[in-house]
Amino acid sequence: MQLFDKTRMWRRHELKSSYDVVIVGAGAHGLAAAYYLGKEHGVKKIALLDKSYLGAGASGRNTAILRSNYRTPEGILFYDASLKLYERLSQELEWNLLFSQCGHMTLAHNDSSVTGLRVRAENNQLLGVNSRMIDTEEIRKLAPEIDLSCDARYPILAALYHPPGGIIRHDAVVWGYARACDRMGIEIHPHTEVTDIKVENNRATTVMTKRGPVAAGAVLNATAGWASTIASMAGVKLPIVTHPLQACVTEPLKHRMIMPLTGGGRPPRTGTMIQTGSLSAAGSMSNRTKPFNTWFHSLTARRIFARSYMSNCSSMAIRTISSLAVAAR
């Protein structure tokens, strides 16, 4: 019923001349950082500035997967905390994020992938994350429509199965946070491009925008793939590079087909299938080859920012979605 509610989810505001915090980028990270600053630390005089509409970056065009079956101990614990936050986020934001914990499978197409997935399964289990290797028999039971024959283009040998993994409606995450920020009096300013940042005594003091200058007690750069361009405005050279990341999305498929997938899937409601993977040469079709954006795309990261701020003061109708991801150099 929320969809038929005609109340505006966030209000328009005149841009003021100063704020305690200015956040550049109103994707999931900028919005969530603003939300936790307001909710957990009582900072409300915040302006979120975006050069486009909310969620115009990767937040509105990703493959919507949530999971915590990563490889390194640091990553696993980090994403596990994030997944747990997501489990109660709809309730907290009072907005249905359509989070479906339908389970997630990462398919292995060669021996080295099997070995890699085994390492992940063991690390996951040691840290209490529900994730295990399954053979083709079990894959068949979970997803009968997947071609498990030996003459498939990329025959499937095994899979890493992660029951708590799933998919979420990414736009709903953006809108849910935006609505919650607005309710706390945090201002959202779409179509407000940041063009420069003035620095005095090693501190970013003023953000120049196409709508005029804004003084800021602190500035957060939450622009993901644009992060290095914003940082360079403040004279900071970030040791990261930006890559386009793409995913193929099919036309709607029958629901049974789309539950667990090679690296990604859409909610059954949408009925489309997404095949993700870096389009650079990949050792395995099921693995992304670049460590993109690992630190940034987690709820935990946004909360950590909030805390550290406080302590420091197609025939098949296939289309391609694409946005920017950053990778450590």
Ligand X SMILES: Cc1cc2nc3c(=O)[nH]c(=O)nc-3n(C[C@H](O)[C@H](O)[C@H](O)COP(=O)(O)OP(=O)(O)OC[C@H]3O[C@@H](n4cnc5c(N)ncnc54)[C@H](O)[C@@H]3O)c2cc1C
Write out the residues near ligand X by the rule CB under 6 A: 24-30, 49-52, 56-59, 62-65, 193-194, 222-226, 230, 245-247, 264, 276, 293, 296-297, 321, 323, 325
CB of 308 to ligand X, least distance (A): 16
The nearer residue to ligand X, 158 or 230, going by C-beta atoms, is 230
Distance between CA atoms of 91 and 110, rounded to whole angstroms?
A: 41
SS3 content of the chain, % helix, strand, coil (to 5): 30, 25, 45
Cβ proximity to ligand X, 24 vs 143, nearer residue? 24
32: Cα separation from own chain's centroid: 11
Smallest distance, ligand X to C-beta of residue 328, A: 14
Residue (58 or 219) nearer to ligand X, CB: 58
Q: How far is the CB of 284 from ligand X (least distance, A)?
A: 17
Provide, rounded to whole angstroms, the least separation between the CB of residue 75 and ligand X: 12
Complex with ligand X: residue 29 or 303, whichever CB lies closer = 29
List Cβ<8 Å contacts ≥24 apart for 16-20: 16/47, 16/187, 16/214, 17/212, 17/213, 17/214, 17/215, 18/214, 18/215, 18/216, 19/45, 19/46, 19/47, 19/187, 19/214, 19/215, 19/216, 19/217, 20/45, 20/46, 20/216, 20/217, 20/218
- Our CB check for ligand X shows the closer of 15 and 321 to be 321
The minimum distance between CB 302 and ligand X, in angstroms, equals 9
| Minimum separation from the CB atom of position 135 to ligand X (A) | 25
Q: How far is the CB of 174 from ligand X (least distance, A)?
A: 8
Closest CA to 103 of 141, 144, 142, 129: 142
Which SS3 state, helix, strand or coil, does residue 111 take?
helix
Return the number of the residue (65 or 139) whose C-beta is nearest ligand X.
Answer: 65
Nearest to 46 by CA among 218, 186, 222: 186
Nearest to 299 by CA among 72, 39, 103: 39
Place of tokens 């049974």: 256
Q: Is the Cβ of residue 160 or residue 194 nearer to ligand X in the bound state?
A: 194
